[in-house]
Amino acid sequence: MAHTPQKPFDFELFYKGYFFALEAKHQKSHLDFRRVKAHQLESMRSVEVNGGFAFFFIRIEDPKKTHDKFRAFIISRKHLKKLIEESPKASCNAKELEGIAEFEAERIKLPAGEYTWNFPEFFQEFVRKGGFED
């Protein structure tokens, strides 16, 4: 049986000369910090050291809600790492992510009842500003 090495992150994006490493997490009701692996944080840190940018896409589905049941955030590696290190809990909910997220994506309905998120808006604005604001 062949061993497949762990991927450093889920997606990569090159946009107007910027490199983005992207790690996706989908959770029900809360983000369990155990789902964020040390090798993922380290791989994403390596991207930043080499001039790229690293973000988590976190989608939370709250089955108890009827309104705002689905929410999706873009959070920098640094902000998520800090939250994990400083939180007294082993998880956080969507409300807690609001305070650290760089962006909350709007859910967009497509034909045939499918949905997508407006993540491109974040990257366009990020590049327009030239990266993080100091």
- Any idea where the domains of the chain sit in the sequence? 11-129
Rounded average pLDDT over 10-33: 91
Please report, rounded to a whole number, the percentage of residues in the chain having pLDDT higher than 70.
91
Please give the model's pTM, rounded to 2 decimal places.
Answer: 0.85
Query: Residue 11 has which token pair?
Result: 């997606």
95: helix, coil or strand?
helix
Fold of domain 11-129: Trna Endonuclease; Chain: A, domain 1 (3.40.1350)
How far is residue 76's CA from residue 82's CA, in Å, rounded to a whole number? 10
d(CA 88, CA 69): 25
SS3 label, residue 5: coil
3-state secondary structure of 63: coil
Span 66-105, pLDDT tens digits: 666 888 999 999 999 999 999 999 999 888 898 899 999 9
